[in-house]
Amino acid sequence: MKIGVCVKQVPAKDAPLAIAADAVWIRESDIGFETNEPDSFALEEGLRLKEKHGGEVVAIAMGPERMKQTIKEALAKGADRGIHVVDDQFYRLDPLAAARSLAAAMEKENFDLILTGLQSDDQGFGQTGVLLAELLGRPHATIIMQIEVQGASMRLKRELEAGWFQWVELPLPAVLSIQSGINKPRYATLKGIMAAKKKEIASTPRASLGVPETVIERVEKIYVPHKSKKTEFLTGSPKEIAAKLIEKLRHEARVL
């Protein structure tokens, strides 16, 4: 099987975030970055499928030069090679433009299976897998908890609401969005880290892919929520207090 896994680099969970001057992204100079956690589960699932069925795993990422570190981590864990779509302003792309760029970069690869994490820890749109499937003309399923490859098709376990699960069948090639917790991601071994130094990372400027720059949605502004505290005492009889409380919960807090 030839498996492509989309991986993304996001700000570290303990990074002290500050808003950039243009107010549409964070200031990157003072923080560390790490692999998007949901993508780690997708990568692990791809590596397990390779170990069971043979083939290769290709890690695909888009972003500035620092994104190569995330690809190298995937290579150290067992991925065979990497594809880096280079773009210093990738955070300005909406989900559709990002998916178009990734689809263009992997179009000639003819992957049997493309895996993505359910969503990213920074922007959290959760649209990459769905849009990739549409752009590449592949069937798609999301919130995947188990994959059973059966020849030219797959039997998939999906997580639904309220503790329910669903089994579906999908033909190959396909695109899947992997649910976090499907497996236990492995750590890179010293042997894997050394081997990763010899593995290929093909870099392609996003501008060379011929993808339109047009975006259909954009972030106008990001900001730190204003914190405020307010205490109000309700007076009157118990019946009057209850009526006032219901009124405030309904029209001010909007929780009823």
Six-digit token string for 247: 């009124």
Neighbouring-strand partners of residue 140: 175
Neighbouring-strand partners of residue 57: 3
User: Residue 164's pLDDT is what?
Assistant: 94
**Average pLDDT, stretch 233-248?**
92
Distance CA 83, CA 98 (A): 15
Distance of CA 226 to CAs 124, 223, 229, Å?
22, 9, 10
Residue 92's pLDDT band, with cuts at 50, 70 and 90, is confident
User: Residue 89's pLDDT is what?
Assistant: 85
User: Residue 160's pLDDT is what?
Assistant: 92
Write the burial class of residue 34 (CB in 10 Å: 0-12 exposed, 13-18 middle, 19+ buried).
middle
- 8-state DSSP, 118: S
Q: Walk me through the domains of the chain, giving residue ranges and CATH numbers.
A: 2-209 (3.40.50.620)
Q: Yes or no: say if 154 and 140 are a contact pair by the CB < 8 Å rule.
A: no
